[in-house]
Structure 1
Amino acid sequence: MNQDKLKYLLQQYFDGTINSYDCEELLNYLKDNPGEVSGVVDEKLLKLDEGPELTPLQARNVLDSIKADPRFIESKTAKPKAKILSLFITITKVAAVVTFFSAVGVYFINKNKIPQNQNGVAAIKSTKILPGGNKAVLTLANGKVIVLDNKANGTLAKAGKVEVNKIADGKLAYNTQAAGVKPKVIDNALVYNMLSTPRGGQYQVVLPDGTQVWLNSASSLSYPVEFSGNERRVKLTGEAYFEVAKNKDKPFYVTSNNTQIRVLGTHFNISAYSDDQEVTTTLLEGLVQVSKNNNQFVLKPGWQAMVSNDADANQIRVAQANINEVMAWKNGYFIFNDDNIATIMKKVSRWYDVDVELKGNFANQNFGGTFYRSKGIDELLKNLEKIGKIHFKVSGRRVTVME
């Protein structure tokens, strides 16, 4: 486990937002590698005048809470008490520093500089709505459904000489075992699989040609278990980021809501949710051709094309892209840039798996800022309340937005 992931999981544990699988991985790693924890954060950041220092009693309380965690698996040979205490003092310091710098990195700016509503306190119940995680369902050509969340790493299925393997938490890969093997055919049609993420889910898949795809929440990708012929075709609903394996003799096509994207080898993002007004294709590297019916446009890096979801609308709008904003979801953030509350809550709904109801007129309020997707929903809502004439009521998994 690298240091970035270790800090990320530590932060989630102490925030109470870690899922059971990540928690088990974290605690087992710390148990087996106590010597590596001290290197996670520069010792200079742990000084009394630069960060909180825990007393032995406070550290012992943290240790007791972790040891009481049912997800924690005790080792067969108990570690000396002093070493365990020292380890979790260090862990707690790391978490405090990570949380501090995370807080510094979170900011919200109201475009219209609406004064803070002193009485606007969100009615958020004590039950936490946790952020999304690595969740997906794989549907095979024979109709078999495999829930990937709880599956161990290893081979999940075979189609001819192609193996479907879960190679890591949140990552699927298709591996061809023998070169030159013809793809399996059923009634002259290629065998297709579909990877789907629910609301509150995300997943990555490596396709048979080596193309890597990251799926955002509430999305699905349909693809053949092996590409044959002179082209590679997949179908997307929702949002995904692609890093297409180069093959000049076999162009790659993505079809989404009557829009087609043709590439040879490139990096790009497509947002094609059915409840959005447009399909937006953003190019990071290479060239892509975006087309709908008889209209087409070749994008260059740093630009994006927007095509209406209306089947009868053929116009392609082109504009320069804010790459950081487009790629925020893949990099673990929300970035809002003068967005209205309806747009913001649509993203919130997909990631936190909540239903949203808008009560009021919010047309004159726009919000901007950066927020970690690994945080609970309550922190995001409280920050939004602080900068606008808006507040929220949370009941179960329903969020009501009010003036």
Structure 2
Amino acid sequence: MRWLLGAITLLAIGITFQLGLLVYAMYVLLGVMLVSRLLAHDWIENVEVTRECSRVSAEIGDKVAVIVHFRNRGRLPIPWLLVEDSVPSAALLQKPPRIALSGRRTAIFQLGSRGTHALRYQVTFKGRGYFQLGPTLFESGDLFGLHRRFRVATHPNYVLVFPRIVPIPGYDLASRRPVGEIRLTHRLFEDPSRIAGVREYRRGDALNRIDWKSTARTGVLHSKVFEPSCVAGVTVLLDFHESSYPPVGEPYRSDLAVTTALSLANAVYELGQQTGLVTNGRDAADRIRTEGMRNEFRTRSLAMKAVKLNEANDRLRPVIVETRRGESTLYRIRESLARLELTTGLTLAELVQESSSHFPRDATIAAVLAGISMETAVVLGSLRQQGWAVSAVLIMPDEISDRPAIGQLIANHIPVRTITSEADIANLSSEPWMR
């Protein structure tokens, strides 16, 4: 625009003072600027871009191949094209990085008439998450540098990387009590391995209920009374509030919490029990659907900012997978945990208040916590007093600051285990829980 205004000003001066050479030069300059502008617009609009992504889901350590194809649909050759396929910069800059790149995702090249070019690179995923690959930004312009145009092309591809599942071999398959015992509110059936006492024989009692020792001692038939208890699965209550995860231990601590939660759910699923998930974390896919993407930008810097994911992380709606049996439920839990992000929304106390209706009475509440305050201990103790079976798994607890709250949990008869590494997950049931 400044070049155009300058040329028009000089042209007006030349005409006013009848400076023929200056007028001729300005006419030539204005012609060059007009032709350059038209060519730059034509070149940028005639570029067709498509992206191929080899996978939409992956495990940690997998590689995904990305190919970006460029095609010139116009008859005129494009002298230069600067392209960049965007990837999540936060995942690259994180220590340790969550993704690694091999190959080139940026390049500058020429495109002949009806010509094509391909950009190839690979992404290695080193951590779980929901990763955005793309869109593609490309820029072109005239040979004089007077006009430069850019576009944001192609829809992004999203790759879901699942967290690890650590097998927990310590569960007693015979007793089918993987996490904790629950006293049912309604007497659905009795557990013959748990004798609550004896009573006098009643007509209809089965022979295997008769307590022969009491019968021999009293001379009157007595029958055993069993506790109406069973284990009917687990609802994983995962605290993913940002305040519980200091930056010093990130992202290791949050990933360990996710792995622990998924491993617990998987172990219960393998026993044929129901499992579910309730967490105050943020679903990355939900965030992307809510925010969307703009396609028109006035500057390249604004375009670069727009293709990056928004880092705002307040969330007031919990992520819930209803506690049910079946492989589909476990898969939904695994998907939700893969996309889960830290939030500054609901605290654990608010989460329990918001979602307590989703806690079935016949399932243990397994709270996975990265730090425990007295408020959290009181909330879990309140659940215990209301009749729910509650267990707690602490992820890398601070022995000094968390000790009073842990004592409060134990006082409420809530079993507690601590996890400091993935190796500890496999031993969740091999040792007694603190009580």
Given the two structures, how large is their TM-score scaled by the length of structure 2?
0.23
More helix by share: 2
Given the two structures, how large is their TM-score scaled by the length of structure 1?
0.25
